[in-house]
Copies of this chain bind each other. A is one copy, B any other.
Amino acid sequence: MILEVVILNIIPGQEKEFEAAFAKASPIISSMDGYHWHQLQHCLEVENRYLLLVQWETLEAHTVGFRGSEQYQEWRKLLHPFYDPFPTVEHYEVVQDYRKTNE
């Protein structure tokens, strides 16, 4: 399992429009092979900053499957106009995982 991690800086003042576009774009990524879940999180310290997390089965499900798909062009069209600067995408893999013992 691979976590795609992207810090998104949105053009200031366009946060609400971005959130609406993200809601519209979400079914695109959710329909991909090897997709498990994704979240849009909002930064408490920086008003126009978001965190995109996407859990993929494999790295290639994202980098080959999604990015090489026709549907990716629609995702780009909806979301890329909001990014400033264009974000760096990284992928991570769990090495240690802890939970509260009484949960």
* B94 near A40: Cβ-Cβ < 8 Å: yes
Stoichiometry, as copies per complex, reads 2
B100 touches A3 (CB 8 A): no
**Shortest Cβ gap from A93 to chain B (Å):** 6
Residue in contact with A100 in the complex, picked from B30, B94, B103, CB distance below 8 Å:
B30
List residues of A (31-60) whose CB comes within 8 Å of B's CBs.
35-46, 49-51, 59
Q: Which of A19-27, A64-72, A73-81 contacts B (4 or more CB under 8 A)?
A: A19-27
> Cβ of A43 and Cβ of B98 under 8 Å apart?
no
In the docked arrangement, what's the CA distance between A46 and B5, Å? Answer: 13
CB distance from A75 to the nearest CB of B (A): 13
Say which residue of B46, B92, B100 sits within 8 Å of A36 (CB atoms). B100
